[in-house]
Amino acid sequence: MRPVYWRAVACYSVAMFKPDFKKLPTLPGVYFFKDKNGHLIYIGKAKNLRLRLASYWAKGNELEPAKQEMVRQIQDLDYTLVDNETEALLLEAGLIKKHLPDFNIVLRDDKNWSYLVLTTEDFPKLVFVSDDVIRC
């Protein structure tokens, strides 16, 4: 019985999706992981897409169990390039709220939504605040 188990695991890992990292850009952007049915399972952002995406498949990188399961389900990868990290953060947050991918954590606690606010100071900052702080 044991050899069959190991053989099945070996066959599964050989068929696992792995992007060609050399073809990925080193620019900031938002990336999209899809499963075998084309269903969006994760949306992420990166300052450097190539390095961030390679980290999911890097040897010795200890991913938490949920991320390991996500990587096993990935069968396709798309990405959108942006000009900077702030644009990536804003695009990612909006797309997560719109699509609600299975492996993303929605940016809210059990009672309140979190928001990004651009301050109106001489040198504006981008900060997270909860809706109980915002009074419109």
Residue 115 lies in domain: 106-136
Strand 126-130 and strand 40-46: pairing?
unpaired
Whether 91 is covered by a domain: the verdict is yes
pLDDT, the chain, mean: 81
pLDDT per residue as tens digits for the range 67-121: 889 999 999 999 999 999 999 999 999 999 999 999 997 655 555 566 778 889 9
**Residues 16-27: b if buried by 16+ CB within 10 A, e if exposed:** ebebeeeebeeb
Indicate whether 65 and 125 sit together in one domain. Answer: no
- pTM beyond cutoff 0.85: no
What whole-number distance in Å separates Cα of residue 102 and Cα of residue 131?
24
| 34-60 CB burial, b ≥16 within 10 A, e <16 | bbeeeebbbbbbbeebbebbbebeeee
Please give the structure tokens belonging to residue 104: 């993303």
Residue 118: inside a domain: yes
Average pLDDT, stretch 47-66? 89
- Tell me the pLDDT band of 50, cut-offs 50, 70 and 90: very high
Looking at residue 82, what is its pLDDT? 95
